[in-house]
């Protein structure tokens, strides 16, 4: 009888453990209502706040800290300072280096899209050296690179907005092969493409087209080729009564671990959370102010860069971000 009781108790405890684990997983995957996530100020002092990214130690990097051309670092202990000055670290004749988008690779190095000099840069983890990975494709120099993203293999995807001429837009996006160092243009002819990101399942590439007021999605092959271009979300033609609508200008983006897409909306100061299967807007969170430029996850919190406030804000969503560097 005693043995039966112990077996029964063991089964009940195992079931309770499974239920608790399931509840925890569900809670970590559930989005809070739009009006229950309040932005909290993290840091100020950015000439043009953009490109938030974290290293494994929890240091936050943001561009244009205490002046254009700098990359700032807010350490895990809260201290802040200039991590590096691109104008002296990687000077270019006739140009003014100034990073825009940032990501951190598995070695803790910064991948930076240099908008001022039209270059893809890789900055050492200590900020003391940097190298130019690419400044042209097929012999033609880039104009002004904007955002940057990584896939799980470490390949780099980046945006060159070009012009936004309605009749002949020249915006393009590219892929840097981490093994060969080759640069390939994936697609062109877009009206100011801005943010870019690879979905967690590595099967799609999402691009925000700012002047088109829409999110685009492409199929992505294992070889890094894109196909089947389609509109994921058209912000100018939304048919959802529960969200703000209009000619929203999408900017930078990031994914959470569940594959949902978070897009900073430049002209309305919100973060739109999008279901990548349907294109439906699941939530609209206050980004902290107008001219919201980008966002990044860390420890269940979403960090947003807001140019109008020259600041970084934090939204405590309790949702884990997708680790684009893998395990």
Domain presence at residue 91: yes
Strand order in the sheet with 148-150: 148-150, 156-160, 171-176, 183-190
What are the respective helix, strand and coil percentages of the chain, to the nearest 5?
A: 10, 45, 45
What pLDDT is attached to residue 145?
96
Residues spanned by the domain of 229: 40-316
CATH at residue 45: 2.120.10.30
What local confidence, expressed as pLDDT, does residue 26 receive? 37
Rounded average pLDDT per 10-residue block, the chain, 327 residues? 39 36 48 96 95 96 96 94 97 92 97 97 97 96 96 98 84 97 97 97 98 96 97 91 83 98 95 97 96 97 97 97 89
Quote the pLDDT of residue 259. Answer: 97
Measured distance CA(160)–CA(148) in Å, rounded: 10
CA distance 121 to 123: 6
Predicted pLDDT of residue 1: 43
- Domain membership of residue 135 (yes or no) is yes
Query: Tell me: the pLDDT tens digits for 78-110?
Result: 899 999 999 999 999 888 999 999 999 999 999
* 35 domain residue, yes or no: no
Q: What is the pLDDT of residue 327?
A: 63
181 within a domain of the structure (yes/no)? yes
32 contacts 271 by C-beta, under 8 angstroms: no
Q: What angle do CA 192, 207, 211 make, to 5 degrees?
A: 30
Would residue 32 count as lying in a domain?
Answer: no
Q: Is residue 312 part of a domain?
A: yes
pLDDT computed for residue 22 by the predictor:
36
**CA gap 161, 145 in Å, rounded:** 7
Q: Looking at the domain assignment, is residue 5 inside a domain?
A: no
Domain count of the chain? Answer: 1
Domain presence at residue 10: no
């Amino acid at each position: 009888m005693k043995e039966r009781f112990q077996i029964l108790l063991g089964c009940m405890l195992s079931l309770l453990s499974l239920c608790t684990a399931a509840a925890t997983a569900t809670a970590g995957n559930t989005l809070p209502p739009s009006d229950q996530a309040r932005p909290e100020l993290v840091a100020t002092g950015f000439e043009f706040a953009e490109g938030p990214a974290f290293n494994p130690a929890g240091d936050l990097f943001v561009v244009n800290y205490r002046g254009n051309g700098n990359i700032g670092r807010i350490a895990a202990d809260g201290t802040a300072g200039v991590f590096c000055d691109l104008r002296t670290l990687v000077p270019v004749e006739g140009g003014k280096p100034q990073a825009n988008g940032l990501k951190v690779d598995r070695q803790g190095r910064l991948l930076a899209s240099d908008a001022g000099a039209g270059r893809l840069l890789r900055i050492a983890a200590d900020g003391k050296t940097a190298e130019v990975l690419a400044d042209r494709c097929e012999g033609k120099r880039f104009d002004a690179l904007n955002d940057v993203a990584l896939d799980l293999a470490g390949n780099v995807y980046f945006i060159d907005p070009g012009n936004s001429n309605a009749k002949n837009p020249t915006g393009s996006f590219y892929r840097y092969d981490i093994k060969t160092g080759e640069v390939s243009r994936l697609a062109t002819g877009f009206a100011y493409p801005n943010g870019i990101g690879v979905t967690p399942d590595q099967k799609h590439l999402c691009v925000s087209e700012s002047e088109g007021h829409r999110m685009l999605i492409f199929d992505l092959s294992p070889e890094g080729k894109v196909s089947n271009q389609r509109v994921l979300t058209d912000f100018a033609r939304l048919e959802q009564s529960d969200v703000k609508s209009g000619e929203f200008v999408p900017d930078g983006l990031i994914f959470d671990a569940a594959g949902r897409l978070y897009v900073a909306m430049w002209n309305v100061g919100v973060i739109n959370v999008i279901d990548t299967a349907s294109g439906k807007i699941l939530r609209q969170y206050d980004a902290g102010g107008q001219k919201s430029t980008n966002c990044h996850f860390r420890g269940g919190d979403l960090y947003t860069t807001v140019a109008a406030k020259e600041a970084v804000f934090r939204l405590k969503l309790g949702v884990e971000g997708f680790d684009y560097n893998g395990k």
